[in-house]
């Protein structure tokens, strides 16, 4: 069972300010988020396309349904269940999905601690911005792990303490000024906005808000979620992996691996890179956040329930026998070799790599192998490997 005091306070906040406050549209949501696309996320975690697409997805702590809506539209063969402890946000989520035609979804008024009440297991569980607002995140992640199917993925997002130091200070300041009105969230927003408006312009908290958060905090729902939340636990790498280890699942990687690359920070000092090789993986992650705390405002990562089969495609014969297709999360590739990859960054591919990508365009039906496509195009195997490493193509064993 969850702590009723914490749960009631959190539900009250989101009944007052349904979150996220994105507008409801009468059409599918714009763009994509590859972390919510089963094919792209599975490929990122394992190096290969999943064997099936008709999966079950759980959006645990779905809020106002922004993530749920994407999960439905980005996974056309999946059935989706969304749960949340706030009846107010569930009402918004239901309307959002109805309006956009996201009709393969069922909503249940449950906390993630009550996930065991749901029937069956799920191949993909999404829980973004939820665990750190529970009274017992370890029991929360264990509850989700228990509902994950073998070979399934759990996508998690929790806050980082080093990159959010100014937020925790302002949260405490607002609570002090509210006094016995603490828990009145509209009053908390008013106090917080008044504070930022009247602190000296040189004040570090005011400057951090202006430089980093003010754009998203124009809406009161975002401001309330950030500064007057009744319960928040922030992590560092060490406490994060205590949480991960308690889940009993396998850590499959951060969804922003480029941030965790030490070379971007000390790559110009080979002797330091060499010293870092003596560290454990956890220690190298800790070194990154110590050297660049501003970059680590949160941790977003994937866990998996064994058996998780991974493929690196290093052997030529294995790669040649694979069946390739374009990633569902690349944009503009059919018009030009200058297109956006799955992270909305310009993909770095050669003209010949682009030709191979075009040749893969209808391969879901043809099921041609890499070797068969190479026979009809002037493309090298290294071009294919580059496309795969950049998540531009998905590869399936033949």
Please tell me the distance from the alpha carbon of residue 322 to that of residue 369, in angstroms, as a whole number.
5
Q: What does the mean pLDDT of the chain come to?
A: 95
Q: Give mean pLDDT, residues 197-205.
A: 97
Please tell me the distance from the alpha carbon of residue 68 to that of residue 80, in angstroms, as a whole number.
8
Contact 8, 111 (CB under 8 A): no
The residue ranges of every structural domain in the chain are 4-161+234-304, 163-227, 316-396
As a CATH number, domain 4-161+234-304 is: 3.40.50.150
Residue among 356, 346, 366 at smallest CA distance from 387: 356
Question: For the chain, how are helix, strand and coil distributed in percent, rounded to 5?
Answer: 50, 15, 35
E strand or H helix that includes residue 180:
none
Q: Give mean pLDDT, residues 259-268.
A: 97
Residue 365 has pLDDT above 90, yes or no: no
Residue 396 has pLDDT above 90, yes or no: yes
Return the pLDDT at 1.
Answer: 52
Return the pLDDT at 356.
Answer: 93
E strand or H helix that includes residue 200:
none
0.75 exceeded by the pTM? yes
How large a percentage of the chain has pLDDT more than 70?
99
Residue 75 has pLDDT above 80, yes or no: yes
Return the pLDDT at 367.
Answer: 87
**Read out DSSP for 201-266?**
TT-HHHHHIIIIITTGGGSHHHHHHHHS-S----B-HHHHHHHHHHHTPEEEEES-GGGG-THHHH
Contact 319, 385 (CB under 8 A): yes
Return the pLDDT at 348.
Answer: 87
Please tell me the distance from the alpha carbon of residue 297 to that of residue 256, in angstroms, as a whole number.
12
Report phi then psi at 338, rounded to 5: -95, 95
Return the pLDDT at 83.
Answer: 98
Tens digit of pLDDT for each residue in 23-41?
999 999 998 899 999 999 9
Residue 376 has pLDDT above 90, yes or no: no
Return the pLDDT at 2.
Answer: 64
Q: Give mean pLDDT, residues 65-76.
A: 97
Q: Give mean pLDDT, residues 250-264.
A: 97
Return the pLDDT at 336.
Answer: 87
Return the pLDDT at 377.
Answer: 85
Tens digit of pLDDT for each residue in 289-307?
999 999 999 999 999 999 9
Q: Give mean pLDDT, residues 231-253.
A: 98
Residue 94 has pLDDT above 60, yes or no: yes
Contact 36, 70 (CB under 8 A): yes
Count how many residues are written for the chain. 398
Tens digit of pLDDT for each residue in 332-359?
888 888 888 888 889 888 889 999 999 9
């Amino acid at each position: 069972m969850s702590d009723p005091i914490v749960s009631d306070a959190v539900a009250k906040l989101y009944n007052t300010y349904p979150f996220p406050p994105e507008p409801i549209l009468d059409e599918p949501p714009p763009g994509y988020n590859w972390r919510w696309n089963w094919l792209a996320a599975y490929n990122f975690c394992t190096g290969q396309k999943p064997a099936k697409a008709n999966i079950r997805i759980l959006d645990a702590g779905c809020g106002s349904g922004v993530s749920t809506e994407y999960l439905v539209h980005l996974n056309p063969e999946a059935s989706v269940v969304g749960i949340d402890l706030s009846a107010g946000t569930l009402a918004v989520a239901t309307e959002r999905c109805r309006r956009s035609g996201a009709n393969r979804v069922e909503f249940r008024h449950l906390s993630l601690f009550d996930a065991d009440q749901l029937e069956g297991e799920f191949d993909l569980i999404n829980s973004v911005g939820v665990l750190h607002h529970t009274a017992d995140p370890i029991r929360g992640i264990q509850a989700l792990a228990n509902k994950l199917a073998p070979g399934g993925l759990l996508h998690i997002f929790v806050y980082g303490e080093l990159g959010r130091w100014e937020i925790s200070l302002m949260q405490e300041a607002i609570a002090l000024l509210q006094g016995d009105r603490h828990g009145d969230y509209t009053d908390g927003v008013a106090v917080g906005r008044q504070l930022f408006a009247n602190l000296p312009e040189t004040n570090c908290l005011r400057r951090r808000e202006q430089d980093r958060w003010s754009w998203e905090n124009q809406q009161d729902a975002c401001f309330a979620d950030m500064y007057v939340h009744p319960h928040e636990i922030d992590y560092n790498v060490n406490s994060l992996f205590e949480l991960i280890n308690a889940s009993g699942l396998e850590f499959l990687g951060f969804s922003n691996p480029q941030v965790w690359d030490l070379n971007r920070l000390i790559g110009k000092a080979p002797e330091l890179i060499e010293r870092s090789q003596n560290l454990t993986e956890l220690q190298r992650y800790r070194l990154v956040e110590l050297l660049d705390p501003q970059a680590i405002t949160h941790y977003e990562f994937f866990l998996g329930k064994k058996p998780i089969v991974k493929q690196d495609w290093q052997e030529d014969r294995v790669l040649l026998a694979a069946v390739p297709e374009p990633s569902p999360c690349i944009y503009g590739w059919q018009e030009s070799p200058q297109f956006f990859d799955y992270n909305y960054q310009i993909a770095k591919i050669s003209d010949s790599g682009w030709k191979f990508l075009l040749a893969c365009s209808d391969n879901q039906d043809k099921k041609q192998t890499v070797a068969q496509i190479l026979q009809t195009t002037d493309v090298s195997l290294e071009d294919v490997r580059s496309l795969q490493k950049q998540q531009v193509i998905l590869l399936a064993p033949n």
